[in-house]
């Protein structure tokens, strides 16, 4: 009888010791959402993701004319709007090549399908649209001569207006 009781006590002791040992090892290597190791690894990953380097801004094209827009926005246009088939526009740190598009309204339109940038210039002002967002990005854009001296925009449409008079 003594041997049977002693065996039962020894078996219970070894089972409880085994459960404690398993719990201790599972807490150090567990990927349970509440384990300290899991949170540390996640925080390091988030920090590394936030440190991503932003692309460098492209330089303003040489000889570009400054256009001031409503809401204190600025765009720079390089090229001759009266005769060039492609203009370079600097907007929001990027340069865009905008080819001329034919219009029936007399407005000058420069549109790049790849970037979605659409520049429309009428004698009074310039407007910049985005095909991707479907909105007008900039409005009432004028050169300093247009704003202060009431000169029409340097477009083909202004030449057509003068020829028609």
Distance of CA 106 to the CA centre of its chain: 33
Name which of 125, 127, 93 is nearest 111 in CA terms.
127
Q: In the chain, what percentage of residues exceed pLDDT 90?
A: 36
Q: In the chain, what percentage of residues exceed pLDDT 70?
A: 63
- Of 7-11, 22-26, 63-67, 98-102, give the lowest mean pLDDT range: 22-26
| Strand pairing report for 86-91 and 94-101 | antiparallel
Kindly give, in sequence order, each residue whose CB lies less than 8 Å from that of residue 117, ignoring residues fewer than 6 positions away.
89, 91, 96, 98, 111, 128, 129, 130, 131
Which sign does the torsion angle of CA 104, 110, 116, 122 carry? negative
Whether the CB-CB separation of 125 and 153 falls below 8 Å is answered with yes
The pTM is what? 0.60
CA–CA gap between residue 23 and residue 91 (Å, rounded): 60
Q: How many CA atoms lie within 13 A of 30 on its CB side?
A: 12
CA–CA gap between residue 52 and residue 38 (Å, rounded): 23
19 phi-psi bin (left φ>0, alpha ψ -120 to 50, beta other): alpha
- The CA-CA-CA angle for residues 154, 159, 163, to 5°, reads 160
Output 144 or 39, whichever has higher pLDDT: 144
- Of 14-18, 27-31, 96-100, 161-165, give the lowest mean pLDDT range: 161-165
Give 117-136 pLDDT, tens digit per residue: 999 999 899 999 999 888 99
């Amino acid at each position: 009888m003594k041997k049977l009781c002693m065996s039962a006590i020894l078996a219970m002791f070894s089972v409880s010791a085994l459960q404690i040992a398993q719990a201790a090892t599972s807490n150090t290597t567990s990927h349970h959402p509440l384990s300290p190791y899991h949170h540390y690894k996640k925080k390091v990953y988030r920090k590394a993701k936030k440190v991503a380097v932003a692309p460098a801004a492209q330089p303003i094209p040489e000889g570009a004319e400054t256009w001031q827009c409503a809401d204190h926005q600025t765009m720079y246009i390089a090229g001759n709007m009266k005769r060039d088939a492609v203009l370079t526009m600097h907007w929001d740190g990027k340069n865009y090549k905008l080819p001329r598009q034919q219009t029936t309204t007399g407005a000058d339109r420069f549109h790049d399908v790849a970037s979605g940038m659409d520049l429309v210039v009428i004698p009074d002002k310039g407007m910049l649209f985005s095909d991707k967002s479907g909105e007008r990005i900039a409005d009432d854009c004028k050169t300093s001569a247009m704003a202060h001296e009431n000169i029409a925009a340097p477009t083909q449409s202004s030449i057509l207006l003068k020829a028609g008079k």
